[in-house]
Amino acid sequence: MGWEFSVFYGVVMRIRRIHLILITLLLFQYPVSNAVNLEFSSVEFEGGEIAVTLQVSDSLPVDLVSYIKKGVPISFEYKMELWKSRSGWLDNHIVNNGVTYRLRYDTWEKEYTILTEKSEMIIENHLDKDREATDLVKSSGLLKMKLKNTTGQFYITGKLTIRTMSLSNLREVESWLKGEISGAKKPDIKNAPDKLGEFLFNTALKISGLKNISEEIRSPFFMIKDGKVVFPEVK
């Protein structure tokens, strides 16, 4: 009896959460600003690797934050590529690295869940303060890229894509929330909601005005001298 009640309770709570998000998307329809400014906050060379941090230099768009606070799950995907400049020929792509954050605010528990996917690892964080959550997803953290041959000129490209997650992504987040990654074992409720709920959810996303945000940045050329990153002075 206890198991059946647990499954029933999980289904009800899950449907309530998704219905709340549906109502949010349908009632609070306003355009989301695409203004996201990026910067490389650090570029260093250590131990045969380029260590880079890419971050949002100002606040996240107010409209995006409003959707997050209403429980809409969002992903933040950072990607960086290291290139070597080649005069008179195509530049040489050396290596890339990245990190993805999956963020969801639980409007019932008043808590953020953020899953960080980096270097084939998943790190789960639970935060209750808005500033802590936004500060985490606004930065890639330190990402490293191996550089064996340090001769020549190099540059780095960085890209941030902020995506609204689909219902299947939401199900992933909710499976994380019920502990499938952290190790806790609870009843499987993956069959709820049904296909109608998925159709309504995805339709609401399309008409809500909430769209993907994408921004790219490129560093100045730099060289490696005496084991350090050196940016030539611009005359």
DSSP secondary-structure letter at 57?
S
| Residue 173 domain-assigned (yes or no) | yes
The verdict on residue 188 lying in a domain is: yes
| pLDDT at site 197 | 54
Domain boundaries, position 130: 2-225
pLDDT by position in tens, the chain (length 235): 444 434 333 443 454 555 555 545 444 444 555 678 999 999 999 999 999 999 999 989 888 888 888 888 899 999 999 999 998 789 999 999 999 999 989 888 899 999 999 988 889 999 999 999 999 999 999 999 999 999 999 999 999 999 876 555 656 555 655 555 444 333 333 443 445 455 555 555 554 556 688 999 999 999 999 999 999 865 4
Residue 37 falls inside a structural domain? yes
- DSSP assignment letter at 61: P
Contact indicator for 203, 150 with CB cutoff of 8 Å: no
Note whether residue 233 is domain-resident: no
Between the alpha carbon of residue 128 and those of residues 44, 74, 89, 195, the distances in Å are 33, 17, 51, 32
Distance, CA of 190 to CA of 181 (rounded, Å): 15
What was the pLDDT predicted at 183? 43
Domain count, the chain: 1
N-to-C CA span, the chain: 77
Q: Is residue 234 part of a domain?
A: no
Q: Which of 112, 115, 111 is nearest to 101 (CA)?
A: 115
Instruction: Map tokens 């611009």 to a residue.
Output: 234
